[in-house]
Structure 1
Amino acid sequence: MSENGATPAEGQQQPQVQMNILGQFVRDLSFENVMAQRGGTGEVNPDISVQVNLDAKKREADHQFEVMIKLNIESKAKESGDKLFLMEIEYVGVFRIQGVPEEQMHPFLLIECPRMLFPFLRRIVSDVTRDGGYPPLNLENIDFVQIYRAEIARRQAAQTGATGTA
């Protein structure tokens, strides 16, 4: 113990984590109203599936990272299985991040950053589906921790499978 009563570990402060969103934008957006193209009308009971992909990369500027959420949304009629609409969107945030230890940066980029972007992405999806002639699609919250863990498990399984067959 030191003179002030704190143990040496308590006396050392962790670096303060700082995260700023420098910008965010739609990199790519596609909305295909399949039902309208076929001339379909009327009330249908939709079955909606959403696939989520995440990507992050370091930018040239110090402490800057680009994080992308890509959604593939498909809506089908429950009764017939006919496609109603397809939507693909890549939504990107540019972040300035400091104070995150190197070993924690990967999960930080693929969990915390998408959490910050998600409300904006949800609004765009709602607006596009409404403007496309459907009720606004209000996405459920996405569990980015679960997606991250599943991707890590998938990569580990792929590695052990690749090394097991060699």
Structure 2
Amino acid sequence: MLVKYNLKTEAIAVQKELPNAGYHGQFPYSWGGYTDIDQAVDEVGRWVIYSTEDAKGALVLSRLDSENLEIQQQTWQTNIRKQSVANAFLICGSLYTISSYSSPEATVNFIYETSTGISAPLNIRFEKCYRYSSMVDYNPTEKKLFAWDNFRMVVYDIKLSKL
């Protein structure tokens, strides 16, 4: 279930079911927990990252209408196994994944470009200051990554360029 909460009125503004999405620990990231459904925002819009029975645990990506949380346009099924990555985030319509939540040698290890439907391996070092990243998200306004790392908020400066 996707929920849009109005902070001013302190009430649920929109509630929408995400069709066929795994939940209750069915398709979590590798670190576990109830990480089946992950929302993200980038320069392109609002996204939901999840998996389904049909996708057999592969990452699925849908763009959402920010007002009513309806799935817009198409849904992309990647070839990236959700349980094989620690987290995912979007920048400019491309999905990136983190290899490990605890390894000191963690990397941003895959990119999936929604514009082409092509994924490719990456090897960009992702240093965890406190050794346990359980959340990584991109902030398009500040152009930074924000992470929750062992009970601490960590901000990563990033440099964007065209490949």
TM value normalised by structure 2:
0.26
Kindly indicate whether structure 1 or structure 2 has the higher relative contact order, using CA contacts under 8 Å at least 6 residues apart. 1
Q: Return the index of the structure with the highest Cα Rg.
A: 1
TM value normalised by structure 1:
0.25
Higher helix share: 1
Higher strand share: 2
